[in-house]
Structure 1
Amino acid sequence: MAQLGKLPDEIDTIVLGGVDTHGVLRGKRVPRSQLERLLGHGLPLCDVFWVMHIDESALVPRPADFQGTFPTELTGYPDILAKPDTSTCKIVPWHPRTALMLCDWHELDGSAYALDPRGALKSMIGRSLELGYEPYCALELEFYLLREDSASVLGKLPSQLTPLTERPSTYGLVAASGQEPIGRVIRDLSLEFGLPIEACNPETGPGQFEITLEYRPALQAADDAFLFKTAVKEIAAQHGLLATFMAKPRADWAGNSCHVHFSMRDGDDQPVFYDASAQHGLSSVLRHFAAGSLEAMAELSALFAPTVNSYRRFVPYSWAATTATWGIDNRSTGIRVIAEGPNGTRIEHRRAGGDANPYLAAAGVLAGGLHGIVNAVEPPPLFEGDVYATDTAVVGELPTTLDGALDQLATSAIARERFGDNLIDHFIELKRAEAEAYRQTVTDWEVRRYLEAL
């Protein structure tokens, strides 16, 4: 991380931006000479991007009875402010003479912007600290590299997409050595950018990578994941490739996940998820956290799986969480518990896809966990065996469509208590518009199946 006062003299451009609801970096590039002024005042941007579809094909209209912040033509889409967080200042090694700072969103009067995902996570962390626990987090992300660009993908069926390598090679270092030239570029530039890469490996899909990031305080961990996704897409494009974190780019490929690891420390910086005297070393704090996360998993699913495509992942033997279950080192359960002593004991929440907004995914896990701690929720028995082979009548089932997930989110007391009505209602409106756009689309599958036969 670059010290703001020690930026090299050659830095002449600063990227100032923050995260939107979809998980996209929005902002502006400004000359360095403007930075001091903007640090005090904030960078003004039109608020219209908060109501854009993910592909920017249309704007979502404000419902007549909506209460709270929701940009609309009726107010002329006024400015909001992006206020730089100077602690996030980084030199961008793949752009010449460029640095970057993440921003928090604010109203013109300086108050926090109600729809800010980063702000929602910061608020959730504040509630955890009030309880005496500092949340630590790490995200592991999967993505594909394709021999495509933004023009080529528009003219192809999903089955025609060309991956970086044609054969999958899970952990296969020799077979996947063809990926290493670009893999090394991504790792090296990410490390130079200040992102704490822990490991990188080829994954189950052709041209699919998994990257794990080091454990950090939860806000830094979400920043890391968000910036990594941004970095990979930019670096790949510079090398004639397209990087995607889309949950399921092709039906015959493995999905992209975003597993969220969580643990907590007390005011003395001691881990609180481990108890040597308890079964498996799992403390009561961990048990309550896991129980709350399990209880909230269905109703918060839309935060972890925010697109129509997200739900293509949720099939048996896909490595994706299809049930609100937990188990020791069990990758078929919704929560995998890693019991590795005082400093390594943690939960891995396996519901989120690569398409999730990292801030909302982390905040969603933490919201459920805090619900469990505050209410001393007790978890079900640890699951042993193959969840995928177990009758859903026994283990239950999580939402299988975006519409179903949004219905549960709309009535979730946990979501409304922890995130507030405004952010949740705005999120639901954006995502219902996404689902409706899908319903109105005639797909290639329909044309191939019915056009000639009927």
Structure 2
Amino acid sequence: MTDTIFERNDTLYNLDPEHSRIADELNAQGVKYAMANWIDVLGRPKSKVVPLSHFADLVAGAERYTPRGFGGIGSMNPTEDEVVGVPDLSTLKVLPWDKRYAWMLADMSFGGREPFALCPRAALRKQVDAAAEMGYTVHLGVEPEFYVFRPESLDSDRLIPIAHTGSLRPSPAYDIEATLDASEFFDKLVGYLADLDFGVYAFGHEGGAGQYELSVGHAPVLEMADRMTLFRFAVKQVAKECGLLATFMPKPYDNMWGSGAHLNMSLVDKATGINAFRGESVGQWTETTYQFIAGVLKHAPAFTALGNPTTNSYRRLTPRLADGQISWAPTRVSYGSNNRSCTVRLPQNRPCIEYRAADSAANYYFASALMIAAGLEGIREGLDPGAPLEEASHNSDAPSLPRTLLEAVEAFQADPLVHETFPPAFVREYTEMKVKEWETDHLLVSDAERARYLLEL
């Protein structure tokens, strides 16, 4: 059986008969439409939606996009070539909350050949390949936190959390009543994620009123980044089904706990299948582990621009909340043996390193790419992270993480590893975009400033 050739806008495309067969299978399941999502800098999926009769066209790369200027992926350039979102068929899923739609992740390229410089999947693939050359497969687990609010309060000064837990002190973390207040939401969400084979093994209430965390099994890093993209999309869609609003904003209110996204990364030896961080017994770690940590800590200031990518992110990276409660958010470049106040933690119950400073606004592709590059550099150069920190990190004399988005972007721009990891166009565009974001935020005068200074000065 030979490929079919079709023409669109003076371009010839080869249609693979296998893709038509897949479309027939999807049609038998009731699917009507398909999408191949590329990811913008904010981590949001973007795609055109095509009727299933054009599935094979979509897979062949027939859909083109003008990505710049649409959703935070660089400055608009009206003369730049369009890009193609080339679907990765291994990511094909039928959306369980609306089975009319088939979902895929896509790689952005020019004409299906040269990768687009701002393509997050391409950046991560490069580091996956670099790890493979050193004999490793990279695995990632993520602990995403998010808030769920009642949308009827959108026009008020303060959103109303789905669970009314404001009287619980010091926080409603793990409170089962607060968790059950969100039963309808979680019943749907966990069911849908089970249909998607996400491996959900726990969920519960976090430290803020209406804040939740859901735990899923780890996976190879690219698969996990794809999974988290769909996860964030699913959370928002389920919230809408329930008449709610879900947000991954790092810090919705000054006296609420910030939403982190702890990155649990490990290396697996490709030759043996053994975790390269696992020591001879539980709680012991290999030399490779410490070298990887040393690399991550060396580049933590630059990494912060990706792991904490908004001006709002730095309202979270503080030792205390506005009411004086300890925030548990890391503020210094440090690691510790099961020390939850450090940037990097060595957890007692799993052979991975846990990067705790990243928040829920992070683009998992870009952040993972730089974290891998930093850790691999640590291994190649045999770096030593020094002794672990056993006290609260904000009381130590360890170097501080960047305290503003501007500080983080300046560290990002100045780090040679950033320029080795990402194309020049990405470094330039990302730096310019984030400096403008900081400047815009910095120019705003808040009600709190007026209340403090208007009559005082």
| TM-score, normalized by the shorter chain, greater than 0.5 | yes
Cα displacement (A) at 1:190: 1.7
Q: Which amino acid aligns with 1:327?
A: G
Residue of structure 1 equivalent to 2:346: 337
Cα displacement (A) at 1:240: 1.3
Q: Deviations over 1:59-109 (max 9, x none)?
A: x64xxxxxxxxx413x1x542111111000001011242110111111136
Residue of structure 2 equivalent to 1:327: 336
Residue of structure 2 equivalent to 1:128: 131
Residue of structure 2 equivalent to 1:33: 53
Residue of structure 2 equivalent to 1:272: 276
Q: Which amino acid aligns with 2:341?
A: S
Q: Which amino acid aligns with 2:42?
A: H
Is 2:369–2:421's contact at 8 Å kept on the other side of the alignment?
A: no
| 2:132 match: secondary structure | helix
Q: Are the structure 2 counterparts of residues 291 and 212 from structure 1 closer, same or farther at C-alpha, using a change threshold of 3 Å?
A: same
2:157 aligned with 1:148: no
Segment drifting more, 120-129 vs 10-19: 10-19
Residue of structure 1 equivalent to 2:367: 361
Cα displacement (A) at 1:248: 0.3
Is 1:282–1:339's contact at 8 Å kept on the other side of the alignment?
A: no
| 2:34 match: secondary structure | strand
* TM-score after normalising by structure 1: 0.88
Residue of structure 1 equivalent to 2:430: 427
Cα displacement (A) at 1:319: 2.2
* Equivalent of 2:84 in 59, 81, 85: 81
Equivalent residues in 2 for 1:42-121 (5 A)? 42-49=62-69, 52-53=71-72, 61=75, 71-73=76-78, 75=79, 78-108=81-111, 110-121=113-124
Aligned residue-pair number? 423
Cα displacement (A) at 1:280: 4.5
Q: Which amino acid aligns with 1:105?
A: M
Segment drifting more, 133-142 vs 38-47: 38-47
Q: Which amino acid aligns with 1:72?
A: N
Is 1:42–1:84's contact at 8 Å kept on the other side of the alignment?
A: no
**Separation of aligned partners in 1, 2:63 and 2:356:** 36
| 2:47 match: secondary structure | strand
Cα displacement (A) at 1:175: 4.1
**Separation of aligned partners in 2, 1:177 and 1:375:** 49
Q: Are the structure 2 counterparts of residues 358 and 438 from structure 1 closer, same or farther at C-alpha, using a change threshold of 3 Å?
A: same
Q: Which amino acid aligns with 2:77?
A: T
Residue of structure 1 equivalent to 2:448: 445
Unpaired runs of 5+ residues, structure 1, are 55-59, 62-70
Q: Deviations over 1:225-267 (max 9, x none)?
A: 1110111011112221111011100001000001000111112
**Separation of aligned partners in 1, 2:27 and 2:291:** 48
Residue of structure 2 equivalent to 1:382: 388
Q: Which amino acid aligns with 1:321?
A: P
Segment drifting more, 132-141 vs 185-194: 185-194
Residue of structure 1 equivalent to 2:353: 347
Residue of structure 1 equivalent to 2:227: 224
**Separation of aligned partners in 2, 1:374 and 1:229:** 35
Residue of structure 1 equivalent to 2:403: 400
**Separation of aligned partners in 2, 1:404 and 1:94:** 41
Aligned residues: CA RMSD: 2.1
Equivalent residues in 2 for 1:13-24 (5 A)? 13-24=33-44
Is 2:92–2:104's contact at 8 Å kept on the other side of the alignment?
A: yes
Q: Which amino acid aligns with 1:14?
A: A
Residue of structure 2 equivalent to 1:7: 26
Segment drifting more, 301-310 vs 169-178: 169-178
* Equivalent of 1:188 in 156, 179, 191: 191
Q: Are the structure 2 counterparts of residues 8 and 31 from structure 1 closer, same or farther at C-alpha, using a change threshold of 3 Å?
A: closer
| 1:189 match: secondary structure | helix
**Separation of aligned partners in 1, 2:306 and 2:334:** 18
| 1:262 match: secondary structure | strand
Residue of structure 2 equivalent to 1:67: none
* TM-score after normalising by structure 2: 0.88
Residue of structure 2 equivalent to 1:293: 296
**Separation of aligned partners in 1, 2:405 and 2:55:** 41
Cα displacement (A) at 1:389: 2.8
